Amino acid sequence: MGFRKRAKIRSFFRLSGMLTLGYCFLLGLGPTALQAQYNNSQYKLLDIEHYRLALQVNDSTDQLAAHMEVHLQFKKPLSRFYLDLVAKDTLSGKGMVVDSVYQNEVRIDFKHLGDKLFIVPKHNFQHLTYTYKIWYRGIPADGFIIGQNLHGRRTFFGDNWPNRAKHWFPCIDHPSEKATVDYLIRVPNHYQVIANGQLKETVADSTGYLQYHYKTSVPLPSKVMTVGIAAFAVEELGETAGVPVSTWVYPETKDAGFYDFAVAPEILSFLSEHLGDYPFEKLANVQSTNRFGGMENAGTIFYAEKAVTGKRAHKTLIAHEIAHQWFGNSATETDWAHLWLSEGFATYLADLYVLSEEGIGAFRERMGEERRKVLAFYKEQQTPVVDAMTRDYMKLLNPNSYQKGAWVLHMLRDILGFDVFWEGLRQYHKKYQFANATTHDFKRVMAAVSGKNLDTFFDQWLLKAGHPVLKTRWIYHGLKLRLTIEQQQEHPFEFPLEIQLTYTDGSTEIQRIDVPGKNYSYVLETTKDVQDILLDPHTKLLFETTAP
């Protein structure tokens, strides 16, 4: 983007009428092209180091009064840059109004257009840290949920995924941009506040307000930054693997919530044992009014109100969200197309928790159900797991990202072996802790740990749509089983396949073959007469069959 003289930009900001079109004209872009260019490149131009958010709520209105400090460095000199922040909509009255912006202590020009706060820096040099202070106010249309919980009590909960943080604080609302954060949350004194990081202090004043100060010690993407404000019953569960664990639920559901979330330490212990040190300052499980069944906010997990049952009906949900602390929160996907590195990992780690707690039968039943969901979804939508075409990120919350992602890990574990698989996950997290990774990055780590070439495996299961659709024929004669396997889908897959032979005396044997392409025939030696065969008896392959 070309440089402009600052005087011209100042003059532009003083103009009335046609501001949006005028601004785009200066850039040589139409409004649509302007948004597209910024949406695709802005997060590559800045390095956000730290956010300091001061926020006040009240009981009389939904209006937020806020002040944000953004500490950042420029990766290249810029005549203007933006932060994501949704402006007030004149029809709904919701959105944010920015009153002023300062660079260090100098007031500077800005323009708020749509969901972008454009800022004209007074000056900027690479590798120097600048502080931008933004005073703003408004009623969030989304992202910060203000309302009543199921007991009629007023609550406030941050709910950012995927890029809805911009509704209540200025930021770069993209998973590739990580920063530490301070929260200074001022609330009427009948509320409690939970947020990411450690509680540094609580200060009361003479007006009946409390200010809570939380601070993170490690960087987070905006999607898992959060604040929860409500009346809570809190139970401290002590430390597990050196991590303080707590439960935050509504007072009316205290007993049920304390019982449900008491499983958290054992889940944390299981995951820490296999994945290495837990990456955040604490683990708090919180009943909330967010839109999801569970939301993996870093160290401060929010669960839907009705997930609290008193029956421990959602142990796998809790395992899923705790697993996200390693994958999704700490080692984060570089862009939304690689969401399976978050959701597929959390899904499969919850599956492995079921294996450890309930045994192989429950685990195989769970994998079978996940396979059915993947096959059903493919009939509706033929897209790969790594999906760079879908721009409505909510639509990425589908069985490709969750269950098929889990199945890819399941099949990878079968190829590599359990010990190598766990070591690969540990090394991947260690390499990309508090950073970002792509599917290719994960492949490189697993290939290095295992010593195997995984190009074909990753290409066919993640970068292409579909799965094997098998048509089989077999005949048996003279202690030899002749088997033909045809792949009916367009692109052939390569995979190992287990076949269970059932003999006429009722005994069984499993043989393993490699299927390298479209149509192959095999001769399997046997020691008894074969009565029947069963493909994939131990639920190790993502596939479906057609009638012979």
In the chain, what are the domain boundaries? 6-231, 331-463, 469-545
**Partners of 233 in beta bridges:** 249
Give the Cα separation of 343 and 320 in Å (integer): 8
Q: Decide if 243 contacts 202 (C-beta within 8 A).
A: no
Task: State which fold the 6-231 domain adopts.
Answer: Immunoglobulin-like (2.60.40)
Residue 185: strand, helix, or coil? strand
Compute φ and ψ for 190, nearest 5 degrees: -90, 5
Q: What does each of the 548 residues of the chain score in pLDDT, given as a tens digit?
A: 332 333 333 333 333 333 333 333 333 333 333 333 344 456 678 999 999 999 999 999 999 999 999 999 999 999 999 999 999 999 999 999 999 999 999 999 999 999 999 999 998 898 899 999 999 999 999 999 999 999 999 999 999 999 999 999 999 999 999 999 999 999 999 999 999 999 999 999 999 999 999 999 999 999 999 999 999 999 999 999 999 999 999 999 999 999 999 999 999 999 999 999 999 999 999 999 988 999 999 999 999 999 999 999 999 999 999 999 999 999 999 999 999 999 999 999 999 999 999 999 999 999 999 999 999 999 999 999 999 999 999 999 999 999 999 999 999 999 999 999 999 999 999 999 999 999 999 999 999 999 999 999 999 999 999 999 999 999 999 999 999 999 999 999 999 999 999 999 999 999 999 999 889 999 999 999 999 999 999 999 999 999 77
Q: pTM higher than 0.85 for the full model?
A: yes
Instruction: Tell me what the pLDDT averaged over the chain comes to.
Output: 92
- pLDDT of res. 127: 87
- pLDDT of res. 41: 58
Residue 4: strand, helix, or coil? coil
Give the Cα separation of 314 and 403 in Å (integer): 17
- In one-letter notation, the amino acid at residue 533 is I
Give the Cα separation of 196 and 199 in Å (integer): 9
Class of CATH domain 331-463: mainly alpha
In sequence order, what E strands does 400-529 have? 435-437, 469-477, 480-487, 495-503, 508-515, 519-525
CA-based torsion, 278, 281, 282, 288: positive or negative: negative
Residue 307: strand, helix, or coil? helix
Q: Decide if 404 contacts 189 (C-beta within 8 A).
A: no
List Cβ neighbours of 44 (8 Å cut-off, separation of 6 or more). 75
Domain pair 331-463 / 469-545, same fold? no
Task: State which fold the 469-545 domain adopts.
Answer: Immunoglobulin-like (2.60.40)
**Partners of 182 in beta bridges:** 52, 215
> For residue 23, what are its two tokens?
């601004």
Q: Other C-beta atoms within 10 Å of 543: how many? A: 19
- In one-letter notation, the amino acid at residue 463 is L
Does residue 162 have a cis peptide bond before it, meaning omega lies within 30 degrees of 0?
yes
Which helix H or strand E contains 51, and what residues bound it?
strand 46-56
Which helix H or strand E contains 235, and what residues bound it?
strand 233-240
